[in-house]
Chains A and B, each alone.
Chain A
Amino acid sequence: MNGAILTLENLTVRFGGLAAVDGVSFHVEPQTVHGLIGPNGAGKTTAFNLISGLGHQSDGHIRFDGETIDKWPSWQRAQRGLARTFQNIRMFGEMTVLENVLAGMHAHVGGGIGATLLRLKSFGAAEAAAIAKAREILAFVGLANISTRAGNLPYGDQRRLEIARALASDPKLMLLDEPAAGMNPSETSGLIDLLLRLKARGVTLLLVEHDMHFIMHLCDRITVLNFGRKIAEGTPIEVRSDAKVIEAYLGTKVAERLEAGARVR
Protein backbone atom coordinates (compact mmCIF):
# COMPACT_ATOMS: atom_id res chain seq x y z
CA MET A 1 0.00 0.00 0.00
CA ASN A 2 2.81 2.38 0.86
CA GLY A 3 4.55 1.68 -2.41
CA ALA A 4 1.45 2.59 -4.43
CA ILE A 5 1.92 5.18 -7.17
CA LEU A 6 -1.73 6.28 -6.91
CA THR A 7 -4.05 5.96 -3.94
CA LEU A 8 -7.70 7.02 -3.85
CA GLU A 9 -9.18 7.35 -0.38
CA ASN A 10 -12.93 7.53 -0.05
CA LEU A 11 -13.14 9.59 -3.24
CA THR A 12 -16.55 11.19 -3.67
CA VAL A 13 -18.00 13.74 -6.04
CA ARG A 14 -21.59 14.92 -6.00
CA PHE A 15 -23.34 16.74 -8.81
CA GLY A 16 -26.36 18.17 -7.02
CA GLY A 17 -27.97 15.18 -5.33
CA LEU A 18 -26.22 12.58 -7.48
CA ALA A 19 -23.00 10.99 -6.22
CA ALA A 20 -21.29 10.10 -9.51
CA VAL A 21 -18.33 8.69 -7.59
CA ASP A 22 -19.27 7.54 -4.12
CA GLY A 23 -16.63 6.68 -1.53
CA VAL A 24 -14.27 4.91 -3.90
CA SER A 25 -10.93 3.71 -2.52
CA PHE A 26 -8.27 1.73 -4.35
CA HIS A 27 -4.61 1.94 -5.13
CA VAL A 28 -2.44 1.30 -8.16
CA GLU A 29 0.89 -0.50 -7.74
CA PRO A 30 3.85 0.80 -9.73
CA GLN A 31 4.61 -0.88 -13.06
CA THR A 32 1.33 -2.69 -13.28
CA VAL A 33 -1.65 -2.41 -15.59
CA HIS A 34 -4.73 -1.61 -13.54
CA GLY A 35 -8.19 -1.79 -15.08
CA LEU A 36 -11.19 0.28 -14.06
CA ILE A 37 -14.36 -1.28 -15.40
CA GLY A 38 -18.09 -1.12 -14.87
CA PRO A 39 -21.34 -0.68 -16.79
CA ASN A 40 -22.19 2.62 -18.50
CA GLY A 41 -22.64 5.44 -16.01
CA ALA A 42 -20.62 3.67 -13.33
CA GLY A 43 -18.43 6.76 -12.81
CA LYS A 44 -15.26 5.60 -14.54
CA THR A 45 -14.62 8.70 -16.63
CA THR A 46 -15.66 10.92 -13.72
CA ALA A 47 -13.07 9.15 -11.57
CA PHE A 48 -10.49 9.73 -14.31
CA ASN A 49 -11.35 13.42 -14.40
CA LEU A 50 -10.89 13.67 -10.63
CA ILE A 51 -7.54 11.88 -10.80
CA SER A 52 -6.29 14.08 -13.64
CA GLY A 53 -7.51 17.31 -12.05
CA LEU A 54 -10.19 18.24 -14.59
CA GLY A 55 -12.73 18.14 -11.79
CA HIS A 56 -12.36 18.28 -8.04
CA GLN A 57 -13.79 15.88 -5.50
CA SER A 58 -16.40 16.83 -2.93
CA ASP A 59 -14.78 14.50 -0.43
CA GLY A 60 -11.87 12.12 -0.05
CA HIS A 61 -8.22 12.28 -1.04
CA ILE A 62 -5.95 11.46 -3.94
CA ARG A 63 -2.30 10.62 -3.34
CA PHE A 64 0.03 10.44 -6.30
CA ASP A 65 3.73 9.60 -6.17
CA GLY A 66 3.92 10.37 -2.45
CA GLU A 67 2.05 13.70 -2.56
CA THR A 68 -1.52 14.53 -1.68
CA ILE A 69 -2.71 16.23 -4.86
CA ASP A 70 -6.31 17.00 -3.85
CA LYS A 71 -6.26 20.65 -4.89
CA TRP A 72 -3.63 20.55 -7.63
CA PRO A 73 -4.65 21.83 -11.08
CA SER A 74 -4.20 19.47 -14.03
CA TRP A 75 -0.99 21.07 -15.33
CA GLN A 76 0.70 20.62 -11.96
CA ARG A 77 -0.28 16.95 -11.83
CA ALA A 78 1.04 16.55 -15.36
CA GLN A 79 4.37 18.11 -14.39
CA ARG A 80 4.57 15.64 -11.52
CA GLY A 81 4.26 12.72 -13.94
CA LEU A 82 0.59 12.06 -14.61
CA ALA A 83 -0.52 11.77 -18.23
CA ARG A 84 -3.82 10.80 -19.80
CA THR A 85 -5.61 10.16 -23.05
CA PHE A 86 -9.25 10.93 -23.68
CA GLN A 87 -12.26 8.86 -24.65
CA ASN A 88 -13.02 11.27 -27.51
CA ILE A 89 -9.52 11.83 -28.86
CA ARG A 90 -8.21 15.33 -28.15
CA MET A 91 -5.62 15.81 -30.84
CA PHE A 92 -3.98 19.07 -31.85
CA GLY A 93 -5.32 18.51 -35.34
CA GLU A 94 -3.66 21.46 -37.07
CA MET A 95 -0.21 20.53 -35.81
CA THR A 96 2.01 17.89 -37.39
CA VAL A 97 2.46 14.49 -35.78
CA LEU A 98 5.95 15.45 -34.62
CA GLU A 99 4.72 18.76 -33.18
CA ASN A 100 2.04 16.96 -31.19
CA VAL A 101 4.71 14.85 -29.52
CA LEU A 102 6.95 17.90 -29.01
CA ALA A 103 4.01 19.67 -27.34
CA GLY A 104 3.76 16.63 -25.09
CA MET A 105 7.31 17.29 -23.91
CA HIS A 106 6.42 20.80 -22.81
CA ALA A 107 7.26 20.27 -19.15
CA HIS A 108 10.70 18.82 -19.87
CA VAL A 109 12.09 20.87 -22.74
CA GLY A 110 14.11 23.83 -21.49
CA GLY A 111 13.93 27.30 -22.98
CA GLY A 112 12.42 30.39 -21.39
CA ILE A 113 11.44 33.54 -23.21
CA GLY A 114 14.96 34.99 -23.08
CA ALA A 115 16.68 31.94 -24.56
CA THR A 116 13.91 31.69 -27.15
CA LEU A 117 14.15 35.30 -28.33
CA LEU A 118 17.93 35.42 -28.32
CA ARG A 119 18.22 31.91 -29.80
CA LEU A 120 20.87 31.00 -27.26
CA LYS A 121 22.94 27.88 -27.80
CA SER A 122 21.03 26.17 -25.01
CA PHE A 123 17.82 26.74 -26.98
CA GLY A 124 19.11 24.99 -30.10
CA ALA A 125 20.47 22.09 -28.07
CA ALA A 126 17.21 21.63 -26.18
CA GLU A 127 15.17 21.70 -29.41
CA ALA A 128 17.46 19.19 -31.14
CA ALA A 129 17.33 16.83 -28.16
CA ALA A 130 13.54 17.15 -28.00
CA ILE A 131 13.16 16.35 -31.70
CA ALA A 132 15.42 13.32 -31.38
CA LYS A 133 13.42 12.05 -28.42
CA ALA A 134 10.12 12.70 -30.21
CA ARG A 135 11.31 10.62 -33.16
CA GLU A 136 12.27 7.80 -30.80
CA ILE A 137 8.81 7.88 -29.18
CA LEU A 138 7.06 7.90 -32.55
CA ALA A 139 9.12 4.91 -33.65
CA PHE A 140 8.23 3.20 -30.37
CA VAL A 141 4.47 3.56 -30.93
CA GLY A 142 4.88 2.70 -34.60
CA LEU A 143 4.01 5.98 -36.36
CA ALA A 144 6.15 6.69 -39.40
CA ASN A 145 4.36 9.59 -41.10
CA ILE A 146 5.65 12.27 -38.74
CA SER A 147 5.13 15.22 -41.06
CA THR A 148 1.41 14.57 -41.54
CA ARG A 149 -1.13 16.97 -40.10
CA ALA A 150 -2.43 15.10 -37.04
CA GLY A 151 -6.07 15.73 -38.01
CA ASN A 152 -5.50 13.83 -41.29
CA LEU A 153 -4.36 10.61 -39.59
CA PRO A 154 -6.61 7.55 -39.67
CA TYR A 155 -8.49 6.89 -36.44
CA GLY A 156 -6.27 4.10 -35.12
CA ASP A 157 -3.17 6.20 -35.69
CA GLN A 158 -4.73 9.15 -33.87
CA ARG A 159 -5.14 6.90 -30.84
CA ARG A 160 -1.50 5.90 -31.13
CA LEU A 161 -0.44 9.52 -31.48
CA GLU A 162 -2.39 10.46 -28.37
CA ILE A 163 -0.52 7.74 -26.48
CA ALA A 164 2.78 8.98 -27.96
CA ARG A 165 1.98 12.54 -26.86
CA ALA A 166 1.17 11.33 -23.33
CA LEU A 167 4.34 9.23 -23.29
CA ALA A 168 6.37 12.29 -24.32
CA SER A 169 5.68 13.91 -20.96
CA ASP A 170 7.70 11.08 -19.39
CA PRO A 171 4.84 10.00 -17.14
CA LYS A 172 5.00 7.78 -14.09
CA LEU A 173 1.33 6.96 -14.49
CA MET A 174 -0.70 7.05 -17.68
CA LEU A 175 -4.50 7.07 -17.62
CA LEU A 176 -6.07 5.62 -20.78
CA ASP A 177 -9.78 6.29 -21.26
CA GLU A 178 -11.19 3.61 -23.58
CA PRO A 179 -8.10 3.31 -25.75
CA ALA A 180 -9.60 0.51 -27.86
CA ALA A 181 -12.93 2.23 -28.51
CA GLY A 182 -13.86 2.13 -32.19
CA MET A 183 -10.90 -0.08 -33.14
CA ASN A 184 -11.17 -3.19 -35.29
CA PRO A 185 -9.77 -6.50 -33.93
CA SER A 186 -6.39 -6.18 -35.63
CA GLU A 187 -5.97 -2.57 -34.40
CA THR A 188 -6.94 -3.75 -30.91
CA SER A 189 -4.35 -6.52 -30.85
CA GLY A 190 -1.75 -4.02 -32.05
CA LEU A 191 -2.77 -1.75 -29.18
CA ILE A 192 -2.47 -4.56 -26.62
CA ASP A 193 1.05 -5.17 -27.88
CA LEU A 194 1.88 -1.46 -27.58
CA LEU A 195 0.51 -1.21 -24.02
CA LEU A 196 2.51 -4.26 -22.94
CA ARG A 197 5.64 -2.63 -24.33
CA LEU A 198 4.71 0.56 -22.45
CA LYS A 199 4.50 -1.45 -19.25
CA ALA A 200 7.88 -3.02 -19.99
CA ARG A 201 9.22 0.53 -20.40
CA GLY A 202 8.26 1.18 -16.78
CA VAL A 203 5.06 3.20 -17.23
CA THR A 204 2.22 2.32 -14.88
CA LEU A 205 -1.12 2.17 -16.68
CA LEU A 206 -4.62 2.76 -15.36
CA LEU A 207 -7.22 2.11 -18.00
CA VAL A 208 -10.94 2.26 -18.54
CA GLU A 209 -12.19 -0.08 -21.23
CA HIS A 210 -15.36 -1.89 -22.27
CA ASP A 211 -13.67 -4.58 -24.34
CA MET A 212 -13.53 -7.45 -21.80
CA HIS A 213 -11.12 -9.55 -23.83
CA PHE A 214 -8.77 -6.55 -23.85
CA ILE A 215 -9.13 -5.96 -20.10
CA MET A 216 -8.74 -9.60 -19.08
CA HIS A 217 -5.73 -10.04 -21.32
CA LEU A 218 -3.87 -6.94 -20.20
CA CYS A 219 -4.64 -6.12 -16.59
CA ASP A 220 -2.79 -7.26 -13.51
CA ARG A 221 -5.55 -5.98 -11.30
CA ILE A 222 -9.08 -4.76 -11.86
CA THR A 223 -11.40 -2.46 -9.90
CA VAL A 224 -15.09 -2.68 -10.72
CA LEU A 225 -17.44 0.27 -10.26
CA ASN A 226 -21.21 0.32 -10.43
CA PHE A 227 -23.38 3.39 -9.81
CA GLY A 228 -20.32 5.24 -8.49
CA ARG A 229 -19.40 2.62 -5.88
CA LYS A 230 -16.62 0.05 -5.88
CA ILE A 231 -18.25 -3.38 -5.98
CA ALA A 232 -15.21 -5.61 -6.51
CA GLU A 233 -11.47 -5.67 -6.91
CA GLY A 234 -8.91 -8.32 -7.67
CA THR A 235 -7.08 -10.20 -10.39
CA PRO A 236 -8.93 -10.77 -13.68
CA ILE A 237 -9.79 -14.32 -12.64
CA GLU A 238 -11.17 -13.24 -9.26
CA VAL A 239 -13.21 -10.43 -10.79
CA ARG A 240 -14.61 -12.63 -13.54
CA SER A 241 -16.10 -15.04 -11.02
CA ASP A 242 -17.31 -12.41 -8.55
CA ALA A 243 -21.05 -12.69 -7.98
CA LYS A 244 -21.60 -8.93 -7.68
CA VAL A 245 -19.79 -8.26 -10.93
CA ILE A 246 -21.79 -10.87 -12.79
CA GLU A 247 -24.96 -9.36 -11.40
CA ALA A 248 -23.95 -5.83 -12.38
CA TYR A 249 -23.19 -6.89 -15.94
CA LEU A 250 -25.87 -9.57 -16.33
CA GLY A 251 -28.45 -7.22 -14.94
CA THR A 252 -27.89 -4.91 -17.88
CA LYS A 253 -27.71 -7.79 -20.31
CA VAL A 254 -31.02 -9.23 -19.17
CA ALA A 255 -32.57 -5.80 -19.50
CA GLU A 256 -31.17 -5.53 -23.02
CA ARG A 257 -32.56 -8.93 -23.92
CA LEU A 258 -35.99 -8.01 -22.59
CA GLU A 259 -35.91 -4.78 -24.55
CA ALA A 260 -34.88 -6.61 -27.72
CA GLY A 261 -37.69 -9.12 -27.17
CA ALA A 262 -40.19 -6.27 -26.76
CA ARG A 263 -39.02 -4.72 -30.02
CA VAL A 264 -39.49 -8.00 -31.90
CA ARG A 265 -43.01 -8.32 -30.63
Chain B
Amino acid sequence: MPAFLDDFLFSYQSLIYALGINGLLALSMYVVLAIGQLSLGQAAFMGLGAYTSALLTLKLGTPFALVLLASMAVPALAALIIGVPTLRLSGVYLALATIGLGEVLRIAFVNSELTGGALGLSGIPEKAGYAIIFGALLLALIAFVLVSRSRLGRAMEAMREDEVAAGMLGVHLPRYRISALVVSAMLAGLAGALNAHVSSFISPNDYGFDAAVTILSYALLGGIGSPFGPVVGAIILTLLPEVLRPLHDFRLVFNGLIIVIAVLFMPHGLVPWRIGRTGARP
Protein backbone atom coordinates (compact mmCIF):
# COMPACT_ATOMS: atom_id res chain seq x y z
CA MET B 1 0.00 0.00 0.00
CA PRO B 2 1.46 3.43 -0.89
CA ALA B 3 2.54 5.49 2.09
CA PHE B 4 0.14 8.40 1.46
CA LEU B 5 -2.86 6.04 1.36
CA ASP B 6 -1.67 4.41 4.54
CA ASP B 7 -1.47 7.82 6.19
CA PHE B 8 -4.88 8.80 4.91
CA LEU B 9 -6.52 5.61 6.14
CA PHE B 10 -4.84 5.99 9.49
CA SER B 11 -5.93 9.61 9.96
CA TYR B 12 -9.48 9.10 8.82
CA GLN B 13 -9.99 5.54 10.00
CA SER B 14 -12.82 6.26 12.42
CA LEU B 15 -14.58 8.48 9.87
CA ILE B 16 -14.45 5.77 7.21
CA TYR B 17 -15.75 3.20 9.67
CA ALA B 18 -18.59 5.59 10.52
CA LEU B 19 -19.54 5.86 6.82
CA GLY B 20 -20.13 2.12 6.61
CA ILE B 21 -21.84 1.80 9.98
CA ASN B 22 -24.14 4.75 9.33
CA GLY B 23 -24.88 3.29 5.91
CA LEU B 24 -26.13 0.13 7.62
CA LEU B 25 -28.22 2.22 10.01
CA ALA B 26 -29.69 4.12 7.07
CA LEU B 27 -30.73 0.81 5.49
CA SER B 28 -32.28 -0.23 8.78
CA MET B 29 -34.39 2.93 8.59
CA TYR B 30 -35.10 2.35 4.90
CA VAL B 31 -36.70 -1.06 5.38
CA VAL B 32 -39.47 0.32 7.62
CA LEU B 33 -40.00 3.50 5.61
CA ALA B 34 -40.20 1.35 2.47
CA ILE B 35 -43.50 -0.13 3.66
CA GLY B 36 -44.81 3.24 4.79
CA GLN B 37 -44.16 2.86 8.52
CA LEU B 38 -42.37 5.33 10.76
CA SER B 39 -40.36 3.67 13.48
CA LEU B 40 -37.84 5.54 15.62
CA GLY B 41 -36.53 2.43 17.38
CA GLN B 42 -33.40 2.05 15.23
CA ALA B 43 -31.11 3.69 17.81
CA ALA B 44 -32.51 1.43 20.52
CA PHE B 45 -31.96 -1.68 18.39
CA MET B 46 -28.44 -0.45 17.67
CA GLY B 47 -27.84 -0.05 21.40
CA LEU B 48 -29.15 -3.55 22.08
CA GLY B 49 -26.81 -4.95 19.45
CA ALA B 50 -23.87 -2.94 20.79
CA TYR B 51 -24.37 -3.98 24.42
CA THR B 52 -25.09 -7.60 23.52
CA SER B 53 -21.92 -7.84 21.47
CA ALA B 54 -19.73 -5.95 23.93
CA LEU B 55 -20.87 -8.03 26.89
CA LEU B 56 -20.38 -11.31 25.01
CA THR B 57 -16.88 -10.27 23.95
CA LEU B 58 -15.80 -8.79 27.29
CA LYS B 59 -17.39 -11.17 29.78
CA LEU B 60 -17.52 -14.47 27.92
CA GLY B 61 -14.89 -14.12 25.21
CA THR B 62 -17.33 -15.47 22.62
CA PRO B 63 -15.98 -15.90 19.05
CA PHE B 64 -16.65 -12.78 16.97
CA ALA B 65 -18.83 -14.52 14.37
CA LEU B 66 -21.17 -15.73 17.12
CA VAL B 67 -21.09 -12.28 18.71
CA LEU B 68 -22.31 -10.74 15.45
CA LEU B 69 -25.09 -13.31 15.11
CA ALA B 70 -26.23 -12.63 18.67
CA SER B 71 -26.10 -8.88 18.07
CA MET B 72 -28.70 -9.40 15.35
CA ALA B 73 -30.75 -12.04 17.15
CA VAL B 74 -31.34 -10.07 20.36
CA PRO B 75 -32.70 -6.91 18.65
CA ALA B 76 -34.75 -9.13 16.33
CA LEU B 77 -36.37 -10.71 19.37
CA ALA B 78 -37.04 -7.27 20.85
CA ALA B 79 -38.60 -6.21 17.55
CA LEU B 80 -40.91 -9.23 17.65
CA ILE B 81 -41.89 -8.45 21.22
CA ILE B 82 -42.78 -4.82 20.55
CA GLY B 83 -43.91 -5.48 16.97
CA VAL B 84 -46.87 -7.70 17.74
CA PRO B 85 -48.69 -5.38 20.19
CA THR B 86 -47.93 -2.30 18.03
CA LEU B 87 -49.28 -3.87 14.81
CA ARG B 88 -52.39 -1.77 15.02
CA LEU B 89 -50.40 1.44 15.37
CA SER B 90 -49.21 3.41 12.40
CA GLY B 91 -47.75 6.81 11.60
CA VAL B 92 -46.74 8.93 14.57
CA TYR B 93 -48.26 6.46 17.03
CA LEU B 94 -45.82 3.75 16.03
CA ALA B 95 -43.04 6.36 16.13
CA LEU B 96 -44.04 7.30 19.70
CA ALA B 97 -44.16 3.66 20.80
CA THR B 98 -40.69 3.02 19.43
CA ILE B 99 -39.30 6.20 21.01
CA GLY B 100 -40.68 4.78 24.26
CA LEU B 101 -38.73 1.57 23.69
CA GLY B 102 -35.56 3.62 23.20
CA GLU B 103 -36.02 5.52 26.44
CA VAL B 104 -36.81 2.38 28.44
CA LEU B 105 -33.66 0.69 27.16
CA ARG B 106 -31.50 3.78 27.76
CA ILE B 107 -32.67 3.97 31.37
CA ALA B 108 -32.09 0.23 31.78
CA PHE B 109 -28.51 0.61 30.49
CA VAL B 110 -27.86 3.57 32.80
CA ASN B 111 -29.11 1.75 35.88
CA SER B 112 -27.68 -1.69 35.32
CA GLU B 113 -24.41 -2.78 36.94
CA LEU B 114 -23.88 -5.30 34.16
CA THR B 115 -23.82 -2.65 31.44
CA GLY B 116 -21.51 -0.36 33.39
CA GLY B 117 -24.19 2.22 34.17
CA ALA B 118 -23.88 5.73 32.78
CA LEU B 119 -20.15 5.22 32.18
CA GLY B 120 -20.84 2.46 29.70
CA LEU B 121 -18.43 -0.25 28.69
CA SER B 122 -14.85 0.38 27.65
CA GLY B 123 -11.87 -1.63 26.50
CA ILE B 124 -13.82 -3.48 23.80
CA PRO B 125 -11.20 -5.09 21.52
CA GLU B 126 -11.05 -3.79 17.94
CA LYS B 127 -12.26 -6.87 16.11
CA ALA B 128 -14.18 -5.31 13.23
CA GLY B 129 -12.53 -3.61 10.28
CA TYR B 130 -13.04 -2.30 6.75
CA ALA B 131 -13.73 -5.69 5.20
CA ILE B 132 -16.52 -6.75 7.52
CA ILE B 133 -18.17 -3.32 7.78
CA PHE B 134 -18.25 -2.60 4.06
CA GLY B 135 -18.87 -6.24 3.21
CA ALA B 136 -22.01 -6.18 5.37
CA LEU B 137 -23.14 -2.90 3.79
CA LEU B 138 -22.62 -4.27 0.29
CA LEU B 139 -24.45 -7.51 1.06
CA ALA B 140 -27.38 -5.62 2.57
CA LEU B 141 -27.57 -3.30 -0.46
CA ILE B 142 -27.53 -6.23 -2.88
CA ALA B 143 -30.25 -7.99 -0.88
CA PHE B 144 -32.46 -4.89 -0.93
CA VAL B 145 -31.99 -4.42 -4.68
CA LEU B 146 -32.91 -8.08 -5.30
CA VAL B 147 -35.99 -7.79 -3.10
CA SER B 148 -37.13 -4.53 -4.67
CA ARG B 149 -37.15 -6.19 -8.10
CA SER B 150 -39.58 -8.90 -7.03
CA ARG B 151 -43.07 -9.68 -5.85
CA LEU B 152 -42.00 -8.83 -2.29
CA GLY B 153 -40.67 -5.44 -3.36
CA ARG B 154 -43.87 -4.66 -5.26
CA ALA B 155 -45.95 -5.57 -2.21
CA MET B 156 -43.77 -3.29 -0.02
CA GLU B 157 -44.11 -0.41 -2.46
CA ALA B 158 -47.85 -1.00 -2.72
CA MET B 159 -48.12 -0.81 1.10
CA ARG B 160 -46.16 2.44 1.10
CA GLU B 161 -48.43 3.98 -1.50
CA ASP B 162 -51.79 2.75 -0.19
CA GLU B 163 -52.00 0.19 2.57
CA VAL B 164 -55.77 -0.35 2.21
CA ALA B 165 -55.46 -1.08 -1.50
CA ALA B 166 -52.47 -3.37 -0.88
CA GLY B 167 -54.50 -5.34 1.68
CA MET B 168 -57.31 -5.68 -0.86
CA LEU B 169 -54.82 -7.36 -3.21
CA GLY B 170 -54.06 -10.04 -0.64
CA VAL B 171 -50.85 -8.58 0.82
CA HIS B 172 -50.52 -10.06 4.31
CA LEU B 173 -50.07 -6.67 6.00
CA PRO B 174 -49.16 -7.84 9.54
CA ARG B 175 -46.53 -10.26 8.25
CA TYR B 176 -44.87 -7.56 6.16
CA ARG B 177 -44.92 -5.07 9.01
CA ILE B 178 -43.35 -7.48 11.48
CA SER B 179 -40.79 -8.71 8.96
CA ALA B 180 -39.72 -5.18 8.10
CA LEU B 181 -39.32 -4.30 11.78
CA VAL B 182 -37.31 -7.48 12.47
CA VAL B 183 -34.99 -6.93 9.50
CA SER B 184 -34.59 -3.32 10.55
CA ALA B 185 -33.67 -4.40 14.10
CA MET B 186 -31.14 -6.94 12.82
CA LEU B 187 -29.37 -4.39 10.62
CA ALA B 188 -29.29 -1.80 13.41
CA GLY B 189 -28.06 -4.41 15.89
CA LEU B 190 -25.28 -5.44 13.52
CA ALA B 191 -24.30 -1.81 13.02
CA GLY B 192 -24.20 -1.38 16.81
CA ALA B 193 -21.97 -4.43 17.26
CA LEU B 194 -19.58 -3.34 14.52
CA ASN B 195 -19.42 0.16 15.95
CA ALA B 196 -18.69 -1.19 19.45
CA HIS B 197 -15.85 -3.29 18.05
CA VAL B 198 -14.13 -0.43 16.26
CA SER B 199 -14.60 2.38 18.77
CA SER B 200 -13.72 0.32 21.88
CA PHE B 201 -16.17 2.27 24.03
CA ILE B 202 -19.97 2.48 24.26
CA SER B 203 -22.28 4.40 26.58
CA PRO B 204 -26.07 4.64 26.96
CA ASN B 205 -26.24 8.18 25.53
CA ASP B 206 -25.00 7.00 22.14
CA TYR B 207 -28.37 5.36 21.56
CA GLY B 208 -30.86 7.99 22.67
CA PHE B 209 -33.41 10.11 20.86
CA ASP B 210 -30.71 12.21 19.12
CA ALA B 211 -29.31 9.13 17.45
CA ALA B 212 -32.80 8.01 16.41
CA VAL B 213 -33.47 11.34 14.68
CA THR B 214 -30.04 11.35 13.03
CA ILE B 215 -30.73 7.92 11.54
CA LEU B 216 -34.12 9.13 10.29
CA SER B 217 -32.47 12.16 8.68
CA TYR B 218 -30.17 9.90 6.61
CA ALA B 219 -33.22 8.41 4.92
CA LEU B 220 -35.04 11.75 4.60
CA LEU B 221 -32.06 13.44 3.00
CA GLY B 222 -31.23 10.58 0.65
CA GLY B 223 -34.81 9.66 -0.23
CA ILE B 224 -36.43 6.25 -0.06
CA GLY B 225 -37.06 5.65 -3.76
CA SER B 226 -34.27 3.05 -3.68
CA PRO B 227 -32.00 1.59 -0.99
CA PHE B 228 -29.15 3.71 -2.36
CA GLY B 229 -30.85 6.94 -1.27
CA PRO B 230 -30.54 6.43 2.50
CA VAL B 231 -26.92 5.26 2.14
CA VAL B 232 -26.03 8.38 0.15
CA GLY B 233 -27.82 10.43 2.82
CA ALA B 234 -25.78 8.73 5.53
CA ILE B 235 -22.51 9.33 3.69
CA ILE B 236 -23.26 13.03 3.19
CA LEU B 237 -24.44 13.62 6.75
CA THR B 238 -21.41 11.77 8.13
CA LEU B 239 -18.95 13.66 5.94
CA LEU B 240 -20.56 17.08 6.22
CA PRO B 241 -19.31 17.97 9.73
CA GLU B 242 -15.76 17.06 8.64
CA VAL B 243 -15.93 18.94 5.34
CA LEU B 244 -17.31 22.01 7.11
CA ARG B 245 -14.57 21.94 9.75
CA PRO B 246 -12.90 25.16 8.39
CA LEU B 247 -16.07 27.04 9.34
CA HIS B 248 -15.27 26.42 13.01
CA ASP B 249 -18.14 27.50 15.22
CA PHE B 250 -20.55 27.99 12.30
CA ARG B 251 -20.16 24.40 11.27
CA LEU B 252 -23.32 23.12 12.93
CA VAL B 253 -25.33 26.06 11.61
CA PHE B 254 -24.35 25.24 8.05
CA ASN B 255 -24.85 21.56 8.66
CA GLY B 256 -28.43 22.20 9.75
CA LEU B 257 -29.04 24.71 6.96
CA ILE B 258 -27.96 22.25 4.27
CA ILE B 259 -30.34 19.60 5.64
CA VAL B 260 -33.26 22.05 5.79
CA ILE B 261 -32.66 23.27 2.25
CA ALA B 262 -32.31 19.74 0.89
CA VAL B 263 -35.53 18.57 2.54
CA LEU B 264 -37.45 21.71 1.45
CA PHE B 265 -36.40 21.69 -2.17
CA MET B 266 -35.93 17.99 -2.74
CA PRO B 267 -38.90 16.30 -1.07
CA HIS B 268 -38.04 12.98 -2.72
CA GLY B 269 -34.48 13.16 -1.45
CA LEU B 270 -31.15 13.52 -3.18
CA VAL B 271 -31.57 10.17 -4.94
CA PRO B 272 -35.15 10.22 -6.22
CA TRP B 273 -34.61 7.59 -8.92
CA ARG B 274 -36.13 4.21 -8.31
CA ILE B 275 -34.83 0.84 -9.36
CA GLY B 276 -36.68 -2.25 -10.42
CA ARG B 277 -39.01 -0.59 -12.91
CA THR B 278 -40.59 -3.72 -14.33
CA GLY B 279 -42.29 -2.67 -17.51
CA ALA B 280 -40.52 0.68 -17.69
CA ARG B 281 -39.65 -0.29 -21.26
CA PRO B 282 -42.60 -1.07 -23.52
Interface residues of A (CB under 8 A from B): 52-54, 73-75, 78-79, 83-84, 86, 90-99, 102-107, 109-111, 113, 116-117, 119, 123, 126-127, 130-131, 134, 145-147, 165-166, 168-169
Contacts and interface: CB of A to CB of B under 8 A. Distances in A.
Contact of A78 (B152, B155, B167, B277): B167
Nearest to B148: A116
A208 B202 CA distance: 61
Given A103-B158, A106-B170, A131-B279, A92 B150 contact: no
B85 to A, nearest CB: 17
Contacts of A98: 278-279
A117 B143 contact: yes
The 8 closest A-B pairs by CB, nearest first: A98-B279, A107-B170, A78-B170, A90-B165, A74-B167, A79-B170, A92-B161, A116-B150
Interface residues of B, number: 29
B168 interface: yes
Greatest chain A CB density within 10 A among B166, B173, B278, B281 is at B278
Interface string B123-166: 00000000000000000000100110011101101100110111
B165 A86 contact: yes
A146 to B, nearest CB: 5
B172 interface: yes
Contacts of B56: none
B118 interface: no
Contacts of B278: 96, 98-99, 102, 127, 131
B146 A95 contact: no
B280 interface: yes
B248 to A, nearest CB: 43
Given A86-B165, A97-B279, A117-B143, A75 B150 contact: no
Interface in B247-282: 274, 277-282
A138 B142 CA distance: 31
A116 B147 contact: yes
A75 B164 contact: no
A85 to B, nearest CB: 9
A102 B146 CA distance: 16
A127 B277 CA distance: 13
B146 A92 contact: no
Contacts of B172: 75
A99 B277 contact: yes
A99 B173 contact: no
A96 B161 contact: no
B169 interface: yes
A104 B150 contact: no
B161 A93 contact: yes
B282 A92 contact: no
A166 B162 CA distance: 14
A113 B282 CA distance: 28
Given A75-B172, A106-B171, A119-B146, A92 B151 contact: no
Contact of B158 (A74, A92, A131): A92
Contacts of B171: 75, 106
Given A92-B165, A96-B280, A165-B169, 20 more contacts: A73-B167, A75-B169, A75-B172, A83-B168, A86-B165, A90-B162, A90-B164, A90-B165, A95-B158, A95-B161, A99-B277, A99-B278, A102-B279, A103-B155, A103-B166, A105-B151, A113-B147, A119-B146, A134-B279, A166-B168
Contacts of B155: 103, 106
Given A79-B170, A92-B157, A146 B279 contact: yes
Contacts of A99: 154, 157, 277-279
Contacts of A83: 168-169
14 contacts: A79-B170, A83-B168, A96-B277, A97-B279, A98-B278, A102-B279, A103-B154, A107-B169, A107-B170, A127-B150, A130-B151, A131-B278, A147-B280, A169-B169
Nearest to A80: B170
B158 to A, nearest CB: 5
Contact of B151 (A79, A95, A109): A109
A133 B51 CA distance: 50
A117 B183 CA distance: 14
A73 B169 CA distance: 12
A104 B277 CA distance: 16
A175 to B, nearest CB: 9
Given A94-B157, A95-B161, A74 B150 contact: no
Contacts of A103: 154-155, 157-158, 166, 169
Contact of B150 (A54, A96, A123, A166): A123
Contacts of A75: 167-173
Nearest to A130: B151
A206 B85 CA distance: 36
B282 to A, nearest CB: 5
Contacts of B152: 111, 113, 116
